[in-house]
A and B are shown apart, each in its own frame.
Chain A
Amino acid sequence: AQSVTQLGSHVSVSEGALVLLRCNYSSSVPPYLFWYVQYPNQGLQLLLKYTTGATLVKGINGFEAEFKKSETSFHLTKPSAHMSDAAEYFCAVSTTNTGFQKLVFGTGTRLLVSP
């Protein structure tokens, strides 16, 4: 069964510093991978997705992620953190075991940004 593991329940960075949120996946078939962001008291918003093709995927708000099959990873990065990036981030893998899409989420990483 497909699954994702997010290392670090909390990541703290200073404003302007590099953001790196880690995600490793387990999948017996080529995976479809997603990163979502959740701001307080809001739903999840898609940041970016990897399906096929280019392994470096660019998303909204300056985020990007690189699919590395050899490392089974899909880490999320942003060169320079803003205060507004403080939120909960979820990595997810799409499974279609039953023929229909089901998203399996990681446990989330809270990004804290300090001035």
Chain B
Amino acid sequence: DTAVSQTPKYLVTQMGNDKSIKCEQNLGHDTMYWYKQDSKKFLKIMFSYNNKELIINETVPNRFSPKSPDKAHLNLHINSLELGDSAVYFCASSQGGWSGNQPQHFGDGTRLSIL
């Protein structure tokens, strides 16, 4: 059973389009995250949700809108896609967001390519 699953795995689209990425975790965790990994492999957090509540928003453009319908799901919608949005987007989850010592579990990523 996949612990953190993301769909789709690959997303190729044109500039200006709107797209969504879905994430689900079956670990019973209460905190979920979105990360962006650029072409140089640098990983940076974008958002974090705890029990459906937004707790971290790292100055991401408001074209990016996360939504958490329940604590097992965290989706990412991106409006008006730009070339600079090309990256791999990772979803992750952890137990107990208040405690910094819990490891985060990552999905396999969604590779977004903007033409």
**Which positions in A face B, CB cutoff 8 Å?**
32, 34, 36, 38, 41-46, 49, 51-52, 88, 90, 94-96, 98-105, 107-108
Contacts and interface: CB of A to CB of B under 8 A. Distances in A.
Contacts of B45: 102-104
Contacts of A34: 103
B48 A42 contact: no
Contacts of B97: 100-101
A49 B31 contact: no
A103 B104 CA distance: 9
B43 to A, nearest CB: 4
Contact of B90 (A43, A46, A107): A43
Contacts of A108: 41-43
A40 B17 CA distance: 28
Interface residues of B, number: 28
Contacts of A100: 31, 48, 50, 55-56, 97-98
A41 B37 CA distance: 12
Interface in B15-57: 31, 40-45, 48, 50, 55-56
Nearest to A44: B106
Contacts of B4: 43
25 contacts: A32-B101, A36-B106, A38-B41, A43-B4, A43-B90, A43-B109, A44-B92, A44-B104, A45-B106, A46-B103, A49-B103, A51-B101, A52-B101, A94-B100, A96-B98, A96-B100, A101-B94, A101-B97, A101-B98, A101-B100, A101-B104, A102-B45, A103-B45, A105-B43, A105-B44
Tell me which of B31, B41, B55 has the highest count of chain A C-beta atoms within 10 A of its own C-beta.
Answer: B41
B40 A107 contact: yes
